[in-house]
Structure 1
Amino acid sequence: MKFLSSLFAIAACGLLAASVFAAEQAPQLSGCAAKRQDITTQIENAKAAGNAGQQAGLEKALSEMNANCTDADLLKQQEQKVLDAKREVSRRQADLNKAMSKGDPEKIDKRKDKLAESRKELQDEQEKLEKVQPDEDDD
């Protein structure tokens, strides 16, 4: 009996490792293809959950995305988001500097927290930008 349960555990681990390995081998999608894949996955999850309303909304979003999405537009939009996030970080840094010059510890802490939040948002937007940028080796 122990032998069978050990055999089953080893087989399960092997299947899990194979699926992880297969996932690592899949090429990373970018741009509109990545958005399309993300929406498709959400549609499948909505179907599995029996959420017809969400599924219908996602199918409409997929249809609109297919009709209107271009990688160039997506890249331009993401570059603008990164620029906006950089401006926000600069503004928050100026707010912190001003609070530091006044010496109010409570305001300084508040401004530090807001600056850290803005830097995190900037980092997130830069990571998204990297995902939508075309690969250099695809040329």
Structure 2
Amino acid sequence: MENQKSLYIFKLFSLIRKVQGLKSQSFKDMNANGIKTAIFLTLIYEKGVSQSMIVEKMAVAKQTINNIIMELCEKEYVKTVTDESDKRLKILVLTEKGKQYARNYLNPLIEFNAKLYDRLGEEKIKKMADDFSELAEILMEVNREVI
């Protein structure tokens, strides 16, 4: 029975890798970077976001996020502002130039996502998001137990 359980988990992660590969190919075809896209989306839809919050949310190396944020700041797409309630905290904000760039940069992705959404439907998307959130939580727990 343990082998059967392991086989099902292996199949699940194989499908996840396949989906990631297909998504990566789509991003490549759109000249998009997955991490940069996620940063733009986070800054558009969430307020009061710091670099450390993005690192935690995306579970990506701090240096990777830092390099992308530095690039976006150099291009004047993003700026940092001091948080009013905690002067030590730097909040990331899209500049007007960054908002315009993000609209152009994200438009192909938005159209692509709309097609996926229409084919899958809201109910299925919500269920998958809930299921993958639960999987991520369980993986973190199991990783802590193993280490």
- TM-score, normalised with respect to structure 1: 0.29
Structure with the larger strand share = 2
Q: If each structure's helix is expressed as a fraction of its own residues, which one has the higher value?
A: 1
> Scaled by the length of structure 2, what TM-score is found?
0.28
Comparing both chains, which one has the higher relative contact order based on Cα–Cα distances under 8 Å and sequence gaps of 6 or more?
1
